[in-house]
Structure 1
Amino acid sequence: MAAQVAARFASGLRAVPTRPREAHRGVRHQAHPRRRIKATWLGHAGFIVQLPQVAELDPVRILFDPIWSERASPHQAAGPRRRLPPPCDLDQLPDFQYVVTSHNHYDHLDWPTIERIYKMKGEHVTFVAPLGLESWFRSGGIPVEQIVELDWHESAELRASERHPTVKFICAPAQHGSGRSLFDQRSTLWASWVVHQDIGDGRRAAVYHAGDTGYMTHGGPCPAFAEIGERYGPFDMAMIPIWRGGSLSFIAAMGLRLVSTELIDGLHASPAHAVRLHKDIRSRHSIGMHFATFAGSDGEAREPVAELVAAKEKQHVGDWHEEGGFGVIDIGETAAVAVE
């Protein structure tokens, strides 16, 4: 097999169960451990991803959409509240060089978390974000030299230090929106992200983080994802949302559920749509995200996984550790895939 559930690479991580115990897989050893991509789910859309080690250089690690706050809200007294905690504290994460943001909704861009990262890392971290967010980071005291702002299909090749290899970040489309109040809706860009790293022998590691996105349009599937697959794929590993996250968690908290998701399918991919997106981008291994962490009830936390299992069976897709597969892991668990 080209993938495995790897040993956790942060000693402070603890598993936060999001799926049945019988779904766990054993460790599968690989011949070339340096040519692996490791991704640890930190809850919601948060991941820390370690790229393959190149020669004797230190491996690059990237933090995607981190949120450590109790609530995804401008105020911690109200708003969507965590059902599941982070797997560790921020200072227990292994050293990372980049923080990548998909858009400015509170469940993806959390100022208390960003502020702690900057105080902890100082000049040794770069923030990568979509168009329009540079001013937000600067308003918090982060120097412009540590902020990279990109439009869709723009790219930046970055090198954290002489000890690290160069990594290419590509800002890619998503179908969503942005805004932190009623008065700034869609005033900054939302995005998914492509990361490429040359690993030698003509090989390239490729990672995709979809951020928060819908899949369907009024005319059918959004064509942007097939284009991403053609232009930037195939991907060794992808992280894809399978639920609406915390935005409508109050419905489940009241004991209710949506009869139809048609009205929100343009903003949030369902599990079935996520599997189609996975195929469009040509992902070898995909991990589901954006569920359970801010769920309004235990039932809402489990429902996305059950729907994903049914969608994979219908679309003939295996588990994430299989070639072309898609699945979920626990918060705090690490998935590792070999770069072919």
Structure 2
Amino acid sequence: MAARTGTANRYYSGPPSDHFDGTMFFNPGGKPPGRFTDLLRWQFSGGRAKWPAAFPSPHPQAKPADRVDGGALRLTMVGHASLLIQTAGLNILTDPVWSERASPFSFAGPRRANAPGIAFADLPPIDLVLVSHNHYDHLDLATLKRLRQSHDARVVTPLGNDAVINRAVPGMRLSVHDWGDRVDFGAAAIHVEPAHHWSARGGRDRRMALWAGFVIETAGGNIYFAGDTGFHDGINYRLMAEKHGGFRLAILPIGAYEPRWFMAPQHQNPKEAVQGMKLCKAAFAAGCHWGTFHLTDEPVDEPAAKLAEALAAEGLPPEQFRALRPGEVWDVPAT
């Protein structure tokens, strides 16, 4: 459609591939995001559950150690898809959002239901930031500015997102990659991997920047951060197991999944997340992308309850896949 209407890609220019048609990125064998008419149908369906004004975490704000060395692995939940990963002497943030809203506006849009699980001033020195795609609940320019000023962290992100970041955060150290790329960083290697999702910052830039998950390869075990993804018949999970041989930890989204007729291609539900954990051969999993920003129809606490049900149905212990709350710290066992 982009080629037929003459729409140019404002973020990325490159040769066609199995997930880029020369103008837009796409999910191979998958589904694009819903149409505008589908969005309107959902918005006016009246099925949106009411969230409380606040959904405070039972955990106090964490004060992380400066470093976690060797094969130890410590995970601290900030909120939504923002987590601090500490292992091999490295401090890595995923999709960091410290802003009050996941929105282009400071006065409107989804507002935090709980405070970040780590106060920004209490962050340890941040070495690396993984940004999975450019939706506002994952790519927060205000937070990236703060990280540039306070930590000068390196950002690894998929193709096209550099155009968004560079305009707002000049001087940020960016490493921009396609699916399948590998980035060596200290005692770790970062692999940029497929996810089934989409991208947009507004109404005219759909799928102009790539989306991705990440694998962090360390001597203490592999870590998989799936970013934001639909289940996609488990295709990408099987690929991760085949390519990387399994994981000590998978960080998987479990929220923003209702209504299924609209959300299923782009957002997996807790039952699918459990299947994903099994398919990618993860010893442990952490559930994210729930309970902080009211994005979709399900009640605020339903993802955690549905995750517990899915684990019980599979005969799996609840400690194997934890629905993390802001401030929660998990020293992930060795495998």
Interval containing the TM-score (normalised by the shorter chain): 0.7 to 0.9
- Map residues 140-179 of structure 1 onto 2, 5 A cutoff: 140-143=168-171, 146-159=173-186, 166-179=187-200
Q: Which amino acid aligns with 1:41?
A: M
SS at match of 1:104: coil
Deviations 1:287-318 (A, max 9, x none): 10100001379981211111111111112222
Q: Which amino acid aligns with 1:95?
A: P
- Distance in 2 (alpha carbons) for counterparts of 1:233 and 1:178: 29
Structure 2 residue 226 is the aligned partner of structure 1 residue 210: yes
- Distance in 2 (alpha carbons) for counterparts of 1:226 and 1:18: 35
Between the two proteins, the alignment pairs up a number of residues equal to 273
1:135 deviation in Å? 2.1
Task: Report the counterpart of residue 39 of structure 1 in structure 2.
Answer: 75
Q: Which amino acid aligns with 1:51?
A: T
Task: Report the counterpart of residue 51 of structure 1 in structure 2.
Answer: 87
Equivalent residue for 1:90, pick from 105, 117, 120: 120
1:45 deviation in Å? 0.3
Q: Which amino acid aligns with 1:295?
A: H
- Distance in 2 (alpha carbons) for counterparts of 1:267 and 1:94: 33
Question: CA 1:229/1:152 → structure 2, altered by over 3 Å: closer, same or farther?
Answer: same
Structure 2 residue 235 is the aligned partner of structure 1 residue 223: yes
Task: Report the counterpart of residue 61 of structure 1 in structure 2.
Answer: 91
Query: Does the 8 A contact of 1:18 with 1:302 survive in 2?
Result: no
- Distance in 2 (alpha carbons) for counterparts of 1:233 and 1:96: 28
- Distance in 2 (alpha carbons) for counterparts of 1:118 and 1:205: 29
Query: Does the 8 A contact of 2:141 with 2:165 survive in 1?
Result: no
Task: Report the counterpart of residue 333 of structure 2 in structure 1.
Answer: 338
SS at match of 1:275: helix
Q: Which amino acid aligns with 2:95?
A: D
1:241 deviation in Å? 0.4
Q: Which amino acid aligns with 1:234?
A: G
- Distance in 2 (alpha carbons) for counterparts of 1:297 and 1:180: 18
Query: Does the 8 A contact of 1:104 with 1:178 survive in 2?
Result: yes
- Map residues 105-254 of structure 1 onto 2, 5 A cutoff: 105-122=135-152, 125-143=153-171, 146-159=173-186, 166-198=187-219, 204-216=220-232, 221-244=233-256
Task: Report the counterpart of residue 22 of structure 1 in structure 2.
Answer: none
Deviations 1:188-244 (A, max 9, x none): 01011100123xxxxx4211111111104xxxx141211111101311111110011
Q: Which amino acid aligns with 2:138?
A: H
Question: CA 1:36/1:120 → structure 2, altered by over 3 Å: closer, same or farther?
Answer: same
SS at match of 2:251: strand
SS at match of 2:290: coil
Task: Report the counterpart of residue 11 of structure 2 in structure 1.
Answer: none
Greater relative contact order (CA < 8 Å, ≥ 6 in sequence): 1
Query: Does the 8 A contact of 1:70 with 1:81 survive in 2?
Result: yes
Query: Does the 8 A contact of 1:35 with 1:338 survive in 2?
Result: no
- Distance in 1 (alpha carbons) for counterparts of 2:223 and 2:96: 17
- Distance in 2 (alpha carbons) for counterparts of 1:137 and 1:263: 29
- Distance in 1 (alpha carbons) for counterparts of 2:151 and 2:235: 39
Query: Which consecutive unaligned segments of at least 5 residues does structure 1 have?
Result: 1-14, 20-31, 53-58, 160-165, 199-203, 246-257
> What TM-score comes out, normalization by structure 2 length?
0.76
1:140 deviation in Å? 2.5
Query: Does the 8 A contact of 2:99 with 2:143 survive in 1?
Result: yes
Of all paired residues, the percent bearing the same amino acid is: 31
Query: Does the 8 A contact of 1:90 with 1:117 survive in 2?
Result: no
SS at match of 2:332: strand
Query: Does the 8 A contact of 2:69 with 2:87 survive in 1?
Result: no
Task: Report the counterpart of residue 293 of structure 1 in structure 2.
Answer: 292
